Structure 1
Amino acid sequence: MTGRAYVVAKQAPRVEEKAIAESEVTLELERLQHALEKSERELQKILQLTEQKVGSQKAKIFEAQIMILSDGVLFDSIRKRVKKDLRSAEYVVHREISKYQQVMMNSADEYMRERAHDVEDVKNRVIRNIQQDKLISRFDESSIVISELLTPADTILFSRNEVLAYATDMGGVTSHAALLSRSLNIPSVVGLKEITKLVTTGDLIIVDGYSGTVIIHPTEATIARCNERKEEHLQFETRLKEIRDLTAQTTDGKIVQLCCNIEFSEEALNVHAQGSNGIGLYRTEGLFLRTENYPSEEEQFEEYKAVVEKARPHKVVMRTLDIGGDKVVSNTNSEENPFLGWRGIRVLLDMPDVFQTQLRAMLRASAFGEVWIMLPMISGVKEVRRAKESLEQAKKELRSKGIPFDENIRVGAMIEVPSAAVLAGEIAQETDFLSIGTNDLIQYLLAVDRGNENVSSLYQEFHPAVIKTIRFIIIEAHRAGKTVSMCGEMAGDPMAVLLLMGLGLDEFSMTPYVLPEIKKIIRSVSYQEAEEIARRVLEMKTEDDIKDFLRVNLHTMVPELLIE
């Protein structure tokens, strides 16, 4: 998309520690209450606008923010701190909500870290309304918005101006703002780090959402070429719609399963809209984060049942709670290294009541459709056995009450820890399926925190060690007679499809919007060609060589993709 830039100089509200007198407490609490009411009115309007533009399922983002504002425990605590500490309302709001935000930022799960931006958005909205500041949400003409970071609310509100595109310094492809921009069909490129320093308002720029690049002061020839590429992509997307309901089958008859990753129950409809084979990863953490206390068995059951009924007749792979203990237990001290800390199955085995409640809810939902249960952060066989014992206990309780469930429900393990990769064969013998979580596996295998800018360039999904580890996992699982899926970002990377298929991966699970493209690649090649690509890659010694080789082959076999 080509247009003039509009740089949004958006800053977090300035908050200083300010003491107040006892006589000012009542006024301070009134300021807080007015700000909460105004913030809720604003979010309700944004919620309605979002429903009109992209539907109710994406509007759930703002329902979650409204729930934070309605959190009686949180804001009662804030009111008490204002009274006891004799500090201004905005200071206490900033301090207390920042604690909650930090819990999410400390998560080893990138998805959870992205959600921290949504919490920050609520915090800043309340503080601005206490301070009675105003935000720019309209501008005079259609522009390309440049900002350090866009919140979901920014994305919706700016869209009223027929915004042409977005480009930001921060943010990830899984952020709610990025997801909303895709739903609005607004091109966006995020995580550019310094775009706000390189562009000024009025500059002519191109935002290429296909390649993830921004071109500043393009020539006429560059603009013409980008317009051609845009038209080519539009034609390609039309062709993708034509194969939506077709099987992901290679030219020589090999069938590959393609599934969706989802967060909200409403997203289960994507199973049918994108022509997928089911839900390969249903993240259950969202329900836990939307409530101050643990959701009850009934609350979880209703949510899980809704997902199963929407996805039917396809399967739903439900991942048990995969979140750090600092969320599950509010008074837990912050861990120095949450990536190597108390999370996933470790938390659940240490908190059997929480685990049992979730397992019973999942089992009950299995009476309404095909449910598989997936265990996260497994590091060895012992954890799998303990989890299966917990599942048997949950089954026993339901049987005693005459509550129906699938007696033969499948149980699988996520392979995202190097020790689990080494023991893939043994773990496969204890489970019904394996799923490779590449996001964590890669950073653990290469000792790289991709959230750390100093080493993030070393996070290499095509590192030879990563490829050989994936191959080993697949071989060991198949030897045990079990299937292997992949639900990390690599599964939705067009460059990786031919390689992974050639390595023998049975199922790809990905963000719904990339599924048609992956299906097109699979239907354009033979399985024999994919196997030869994998064989050649396994002989290579650097990621650069592997990426160059895969890029050339993808260009040759599926030229319409226009991969950079």
Structure 2
Amino acid sequence: MKEIELLLNESDNWIKGIPAAPGIFTGKFHLFVKEEVHIEEQEITDVEEALRSFNDAIERSKYELSKIFALAKEKMGEKRAEIFEAQIMILEDPIVLDEIRTRIRKERRDPAVIVAEEFDKFIVMLKRSDDIYFKERAFDIEDIKNRILRNISRKRWVSRIENDVAVAGVNLTAADTILFSRCNVRGYITEEGGLTSHAAIIARSLNIPAVLGAHSLIERLNEDCCEIIIDGYNGFIIFDPDSRQKQFYDNKAHILEKVNSELAGLKDISSSTIDGVKISLLANIDVTDELLIAEANGAEGIGLYRTEQIIEETGEFPDENFQTRLYFDITEKSYPKNVTIRVFDLGGDKTRLFHKTEYNPFLGLRGIRFLLSNKELFKGQIRSLLKASFNNNLNILLPMISAFEEIEETKQLIKECEEELGLTHRKYKLGIMIEVPSAADLIPCLGDEVDFLSVGTNDLIQYSLAVDRANDEVAYLYQEFNPSFLRVLKRIADNAAEASLPLSLCGEMGADPRAIPLLLGLGYRFLSASPSGIPLMKKIILSVKISDCEILAQDALACKSTAAVETLVDKFFIDHGITIPKDFV
């Protein structure tokens, strides 16, 4: 990163955005400008003809989205493609459609005007939300509105692009992103959008580098720019790169290709250190389609399945039958490997569809607190998990535990569900996430209460260091290598060992290659991360001795500052001859 900054500091032909999908691209781009549909206020003389025009536009829009849905399933799997199925459902919503039809009859105005007014109500409401997820959904609703308006006016949007170019625009909808993939698009860059946008999700699914939210992008591209570099690792976009910049990134891309090829060969090799200590590498997944990716990358099981992602992608709470089928599918496909399924972790910066806005959601009704305040909802999920547990490979994980009473109350609900289902033999294991400091201190008395522990470093860092991880103003304080935080991790590992409780780590820190030797030295033997990160994690584990990692951890725990720890870690990698892709970009 420092090398890149030195390279770019000498020029002004670049901007920085949000690194939404990793990868590097150098080449031509296509500037995508979606044609606006202009509507004019006018009174209609034939109401029935206006209604036919509206109904025909709805049917054509549904047909278009059904074709996009089919393409999305082919490109990125059925689960990820459900975002388009959700858009089709909006076009079938009787409340929305009937309101528009009623207004056409009553007001005798152009259907396009009424469609725009009705959909704009939702768009404005979503854009005013404090929740980033809802802000991003405003773009999806606007895309549906524009699709209907275009079909009312019987216009076609045509955007022909060459193969093997990047696409640039103010914003890209989910439909835009998937349709452009037919032309072997090599990158996406936009002025708007973020990590939770559907464009970002699709780019990551298709392994296409993307930098989003790059302000002044279009202005810079309009200055006779011919070629760009996209750095999806660090969020840089370079316009008309000079020879040094091109050479720099060409070298990085070549090295990355070589490294990734080497990593692919590690799939069937056991992840043990040089001195023979076995480290289990598990996968974090959001959708069932990622099971194949986890298997292909050598994951030894699923360390975290985030069930709240079901709600994020569908926009509604799944019923008990749907959940049962889903959980059974995951455990069945993973057998005999274990699967850890976390119950709905709602609140904070996650889905907030089902409870009121809070002044401080991170300290409010989230995780297990929300579930215990909505017992019927919670029991429905528990019953679904119990019915899917007969393969004896299911671990149930409770989020945001901060008090012993929460464990007791949850176990009582599980008992009630077991009685309702007539289950007499337990076929699952129950664990808790360690995400707040108080949970770390509970561990010594949990030996007989739970079966395993899982550390969620994302929340544990922010609660230990009093740093809002979503606040850019204090982002510099969100430090996984802070010595105080490392001491918290060490205390957790020691307490778990003393209580004879299996311990895993499933936060972003576990996926950070630079953190792995430290975590091994602190006593962690089960690490769970994104499936794509597992080969690199394995490479590092195969390159170190536990004894050396323990010395590194001891030295880090004695440090006074984060910078001092980072210096130790950098030296460790240099001394052991370990290179990682992030070093190259």
TM-score bin (small chain): 0.7 to 0.9
Aligned length: 549
Query: TM-score, normalization: structure 2?
Result: 0.82
**Residues 294 and 238 of structure 1: is their aligned pair in 2 closer, same or farther, counting only changes over 3 Å?**
closer
Whether 1:2 and 2:20 are equivalent positions in the alignment is: no
Contact kept, 8 Å, 2:115 with 2:149, in 1: the verdict is no
- Partner secondary structure for residue 214 of structure 1: strand
Counterparts of 2:390 and 2:94, CA distance in 1: 35
Any residues of structure 2 matched to 1:279-294 within 5 Å, and which? 279-289=302-312, 294=317
Return the offset for 1:411: 1.0
| Aligned 8 A contact 2:140 2:173 in 1 | no
- Counterpart CA distance in 2 for 1:24 and 1:304 is 53
1:236 and 2:262 matched: no
Deviation track 1:227-264 (CA, whole Å, cap 9, x = no partner) reads: 23222221211111111122211111111111111222
CA contact (8 A) 2:453 2:501 kept: yes
Contact 1:28 1:89 in 2 (8 A): no
The match for 2:408 among 381, 385, 402 is: 385
Partner of 2:553: 534
Give yes or no for the alignment of 1:273 onto 2:292.
no
Change (3 A) 1:367 1:235: same
1:144 corresponds to: 166
Answer whether contact 1:439 1:489 (CA < 8 A) is retained: yes
Aligned residue number for residue 4 of structure 2: none
User: 1:42 aligns to what?
Assistant: 64
- 2:140 alignment partner in structure 1: 122
Runs of 5+ unmatched residues, structure 1: 107-112
Contact 1:31 1:130 in 2 (8 A): no
Q: In structure 2, what is the Cα distance between the partners aligned to 1:387 and 1:136?
A: 55
Please state whether the residue corresponding to 2:453 is helix, strand or coil: strand
Residue 4 of structure 1 contacts residue 202 of structure 1 at CA under 8 Å; is this kept in 2?
A: no
Q: Secondary structure at the match of 1:247?
A: coil
Structure 2 equivalent of residue 90 of structure 1: 116
Correspondence 1:456 to 2:475: yes
Give the letter for the 2:310 counterpart.
L
The residue that corresponds to 2:13 in the other structure is none
1:503 aligns with 2:522: yes
Partner SS state of residue 524, structure 2:
coil
Contact 1:260/1:271 (CA < 8 Å) preserved in 2?
yes
Residue 564 of structure 2 aligns with an amino acid whose one-letter code is D
CA distance in structure 2 between the aligned counterparts of 1:492 and 1:451, rounded to whole angstroms: 19
Aligned in 2, Cα 1:157/1:256: closer, same or farther, shift over 3 Å? same
State the one-letter code of the partner of 1:279: I
- Please report how far the alpha carbon of residue 366 of structure 1 lies from its aligned counterpart in structure 2 after TM superposition: 0.6
SS of the residue 2:189 aligns to: strand
More contact order relative to length (CA 8 Å, sep ≥ 6): 2
- How many percent of aligned residue pairs carry the same amino acid? 36
Query: Does residue 296 of the first structure (1) align with residue 315 of the second (2)?
Result: no
1:209 partnered with 2:232:
yes
User: Paired residue for 1:110?
Assistant: none
Query: For 1:62, what is the secondary structure of its paired residue?
Result: helix
Partners of 2:344 and 2:367 within 8 A in 1: yes
Which has the larger Rg?
A: 2
The letter of the residue matching 1:2 is: T
Give the match for residue 252 of structure 1.
275
Task: Name the residue aligned to 1:162.
Answer: 184
User: Mapping of 1:103-118 within 5 angstroms?
Assistant: 106=131, 113-114=132-133, 117=136
Please say if residues 244 and 275 of structure 1, whose CA atoms lie closer than 8 Å, have aligned partners that are also in contact: yes
Whether 2:566 is the aligned partner of 1:520: answer: no
Cα distance 1:305–1:521, how it changes in 2: closer, same or farther (>3 A)?
A: same
State which of 186, 197, 200 in structure 1 corresponds to 2:208: 186
What code does the residue aligned with 1:390 have? L
Shifted more, 507-516 versus 133-142: the winner is 133-142
CA RMSD across the alignment: 3.7
Contact 2:394–2:427, Cα closer than 8 Å, also in 1: no
CA–CA distance in structure 1, aligned partners of residues 32 and 547 of structure 2: 51
Assess if the C-alpha contact under 8 Å between 1:502 and 1:533 holds in 2.
yes
- Is the partner of 1:167 in helix, strand or coil? strand
CA distance in structure 2 between the partners assigned to 1:427 and 1:309 by the alignment: 30
Q: Given that residues 483 and 506 in structure 1 are in contact (C-alpha distance below 8 angstroms), is that contact kept between their aligned partners in structure 2?
A: no
Aligned match of 2:565: 546
Letter of the aligned partner of 1:156 in structure 2?
I
Q: TM-score, normalised by structure 1?
A: 0.85
Tell me the amino acid that sits aligned with residue 168 of structure 2.
I
**Match for 1:180: what amino acid?**
I
Query: Aligned letter for 2:121?
Result: R
Q: 1:90 to 1:220 in 2, by over 3 A?
A: same
Deviation of 1:82 after TM superposition, in Å, equals 9.1
Quote the Cα distance in structure 2 between the aligned partners of 1:450 and 1:21: 52
Please give the per-residue CA displacement for 1:374-424, whole angstroms capped at 9, x wherever unaligned. Answer: 11121211111111111111111112xxx68x6052111112233323434
Distance 1:417 1:223, change over 3 A: same
Partner of 1:490: 509
